[in-house]
Amino acid sequence: MAFSNRISKLSSKQIFFIDGIGAIVSAFFLGFVLVQFNSWCGMPINVLYTLSGLALIFALYSFTCYFLTPIMWRPYLKFIAFVNALYCLTTLGLVIWHYHLLTFLGICYFIIEIVIIALLVSVELRYAKNN
């Protein structure tokens, strides 16, 4: 079964849940794992905490949408997709700004996070358009 067919079978509620779980995972890695192993990453700790806090806010938003299940869900899904895209651009900007401090593993982590979130944004926008 094609990837787009699998996505179209999900409910909007499930998309919000997936987004919320992803944000919690990001917040955990940024706020705990990378802070504890900062010498392996290199990103300033205050930046990690800020990104983690943003991820927690996004998780709260997505889980609120998941539990309240709005009838008019498209604008809410488009909003979280837009905010996720801004988060990716912000993270990319921070990686460029702090490039001289980052380790190879730190750069790899942030690139992987940006790619995963960008894919999620693509799925969310496609879902909002087609369902």
- Whether residue 77 is predicted with pLDDT greater than 80 in this model: the reply is yes
Instruction: Give the contacts of 58 (CB within 8 A, at least 6 positions apart).
Output: 19, 20, 23, 80, 83, 84, 87
- Whether 96 is covered by a domain: the verdict is yes
In a domain? residue 2: no
Q: 4 lies in a domain?
A: no
pLDDT confidence of residue 131: 76
pLDDT band with cut points at 50, 70 and 90 for residue 118: very high
The residue range of the domain holding 60 is 11-130
25 in any annotated domain: yes
Domain count, the chain: 1
Dist. CA 70–CA 89, nearest whole Å: 28
Q: Is residue 72 part of a domain?
A: yes
Residue 3 lies in a domain: no
